[in-house]
Structure 1
Amino acid sequence: MKSKIPTIELRDGQKMPLLAFGTGTAWYKDDGKGPFNKELKNMLKHALDTGIRHIDAAEAYGTEEEIGVAIRESGVDRQELFVTTKVQQGISDIPRAFEESLAKLQLDYVDLYMIHWPYFAEEDAELQRAWNALEAIYKQGRAKAIGVANYLRPHIEATLKTATIVPMVNQIEHHPYLQRANDYVPWLQSQGIRMEAFSPLTPITEAQDGPLSSHLMKIAAKHNVSTGAVLLRWQIQKDIVAITTTTKKERLEDYMKVGSFALTAEEMKLITEVGLTYHYRSWGVKRFAPDDRT
């Protein structure tokens, strides 16, 4: 029996699964254009067979072609899927970049189209022009939702000055050791902007020496799941989409257990509070001061 992953509703009523299979990190192609990866295609087909319905892509990952083939070969109804991709290299000509992504994905539309990061812009007007291009795609119905990734509050505020559509999603690094300072997450949610978390497993991958390790093991043992499943569930219970990936089928099947258990209020509080005593940033380290938690 396939696991059932909970969903969250976007402003237009669209349902977004709270667990996504990411095709960056372990599957990322250094030049974004490497040869077709049959292993990724097969892993995606296994993920879909296991119950995954949310796939996260980007032109920068170089994995859109594999996703398109996997979806076609899986036989899963397109209406069941939530497919995300992002624009980065093609930011100067977003309409063209979008067409190229659709062609690689072999899709007529995507469920979510995002600006991959804000650092292409030297002034607010560039952020605003890019967002205007996404709004046009959304109004055509070819992206069911639009959003941004790696945006801090100043980037969002600059975008909102001219936006007619508020970004529906912001995908940022988020985990117990980087919960974002200055109430950024509550502010996003107050604007109706849903959160997606990449690198949600950082406390057990890159920051294993942090103070949560023993707590996570105890919680995992209690629920008869892995520490990874506990971290993913912590995000989900905060109504944050957890984006993770793996090259191992058994690990994916373990992550899928997030739909079969729930953390108690005390466990949620413990993970949050202990996590706040430690700081670790996985992505974009050179862009931030060592103790910058924004």
Structure 2
Amino acid sequence: MNSIASAFRSDPSGTAPKQHGAVPMLELNDGNKIPMLAYGLGTANSKQAADDVIKATITAIKAGFFHLDGAEMYGNEKELGRAIAQSGVDRSALYVVTKLDNKPEHIGQVDKILTGSLERLGLDYVDLYLVHHPAMAGGDPARLQGLWAEVEAIKASGQARSIGVSNFLAEDIEMLFSGGKVKVVPAINQIEFHPYYQRQQVIQLCRDKGIAISAYAPLSPVIRAPDGPLHASGLLPGLAKKYGVNEADVLLRWCIDQGIVAITTSSNETRINSYTCNIPNFKLTPKEVEDISKTGSETFRRFFWSQKFAEGDTR
């Protein structure tokens, strides 16, 4: 197995991350550090019964998932808060994320909305607060910039240690900066990212501005598109066999080895434990990362927010 490089500091530029004992950590542009493997309470978990969400989240925390990615939109902030309280893990050891729901009427009320999220979570602060989708600003630069000013005030208040965005395209990032009013550069942009949807335009722009990337749906080639070229070519099964891990582990490592935070969801205890056990213990070679990228680019498949895009739009 390849050991993880350890002679340099992590940053959002795409440089491979340094290993920190268990799950790698990435240093954000504000100096805060984020675990590069996250347990997501996303759309899949939002459809589960409350007790099941709590149980799965506690299992994830006890397995070593200290980065917990939630959102107001998912409707399970209370469950996330109860899992945190029942886990027995100190709050200071956890990295908790929530997001401002994609509702235009929330503009002008961000402080109030976050207060509600914190009450549901049972927390005094979150480690990262994200604007869930730029569509809430309706394509109006002034509204988007005004919204971001409210989010900057959240960071200044201490209710969020880092702030960022989610589902922003390159043009949304450019729109945000176009007024010259940004005081706090977003720490991260959370986007759908996997070998069949590689998003190089927005990723490169974010890296140019020092904005890190976190990936949701990174396991799509296994879960949603098992008929794709990564399997047809034998590449993904071959790498899993080489390293003695699961195919999902390889896809998560592919993200991390590009300096991208990987978010995964699961209610399966065996799978949850395999991620935190396997991910820190192997590293893909640069050629293997490139091979996955090249083979993945043979097809294009988007699985979220497709209603926001015209047919053939690959942004």
Place the TM-score, normalised by the shorter chain, in its bin. Answer: over 0.9
Deviations 1:222-253 (A, max 9, x none): 11111000000000011101111011111111
> Which stretch shifts more, 276-285 or 183-192?
183-192
Alignment of 1:47-62 (within 5 A): 47-62=60-75
Distance 2:191 2:305 in 1: 11
- Aligned residue for 1:113, secondary structure, equals strand
User: How far is the alpha carbon of 1:271 from its aligned partner?
Assistant: 0.2
- Aligned residue for 1:254, secondary structure, equals helix
Distance 1:293 1:255 in 2: 30
User: How far is the alpha carbon of 1:185 from its aligned partner?
Assistant: 1.0
> Which stretch shifts more, 139-148 or 72-81?
72-81
Alignment of 1:106-121 (within 5 A): 106-121=122-137
User: How far is the alpha carbon of 1:42 from its aligned partner?
Assistant: 1.2
Distance 1:54 1:193 in 2: 18
Partner of 2:83: 70
User: How far is the alpha carbon of 1:70 from its aligned partner?
Assistant: 1.0
User: How far is the alpha carbon of 1:124 from its aligned partner?
Assistant: 1.2
Q: 1:172 aligns with which of 181, 191, 201?
A: 191
User: How far is the alpha carbon of 1:91 from its aligned partner?
Assistant: 2.2
Deviations 1:45-71 (A, max 9, x none): 111111111000000001111111111
User: How far is the alpha carbon of 1:165 from its aligned partner?
Assistant: 0.9
User: How far is the alpha carbon of 1:77 from its aligned partner?
Assistant: 1.4
Residue 41 of structure 2 corresponds to residue 20 of structure 1: no
Structure 1 runs of 4+ aligned residues shifted over 6 Å read: none
> Which stretch shifts more, 100-109 or 246-255?
246-255
Residue 264 of structure 2 corresponds to residue 228 of structure 1: no
Q: Which runs of 5+ in 1 are unaligned?
A: none
Q: In 1, are the aligned partners of 2:188 and 2:213 still within 8 Å (CA)?
A: yes
User: How far is the alpha carbon of 1:73 from its aligned partner?
Assistant: 1.2
User: How far is the alpha carbon of 1:141 from its aligned partner?
Assistant: 1.3
Tell me the percent identity.
40
TM, length-normalised to structure 1: 0.94
Partner of 1:100: 116
The number of aligned residues is 286
TM, length-normalised to structure 2: 0.88
Root-mean-square deviation over aligned CA pairs: 1.4
Residue 291 of structure 2 corresponds to residue 270 of structure 1: yes
Residue 268 of structure 2 corresponds to residue 248 of structure 1: yes
Q: In 2, are the aligned partners of 1:17 and 1:54 still within 8 Å (CA)?
A: yes
- Paired letter, 2:296: G
Q: 2:220 aligns with which of 181, 202, 216?
A: 202
Partner of 1:285: 306
User: How far is the alpha carbon of 1:287 from its aligned partner?
Assistant: 2.0
- Aligned residue for 2:117, secondary structure, equals helix
Distance 1:44 1:286 in 2: 30
Q: In 2, are the aligned partners of 1:279 and 1:291 still within 8 Å (CA)?
A: no
User: How far is the alpha carbon of 1:293 from its aligned partner?
Assistant: 2.0
Residue 24 of structure 2 corresponds to residue 6 of structure 1: yes
Distance 2:170 2:235 in 1: 32
Distance 2:285 2:170 in 1: 31
Deviations 1:196-225 (A, max 9, x none): 101101111111111011210010011111
Partner of 1:91: 106
- Aligned residue for 1:212, secondary structure, equals helix
- Paired letter, 1:224: G
Q: Which runs of 5+ in 2 are unaligned?
A: 1-20
- Aligned residue for 2:191, secondary structure, equals strand
Distance 1:128 1:238 in 2: 30
- Paired letter, 1:124: P
Distance 1:67 1:28 in 2: 11
- Aligned residue for 1:170, secondary structure, equals strand
User: How far is the alpha carbon of 1:12 from its aligned partner?
Assistant: 2.1
- Aligned residue for 2:145, secondary structure, equals helix
Partner of 2:15: none
Distance 1:234 1:91 in 2: 36
Partner of 2:52: 39
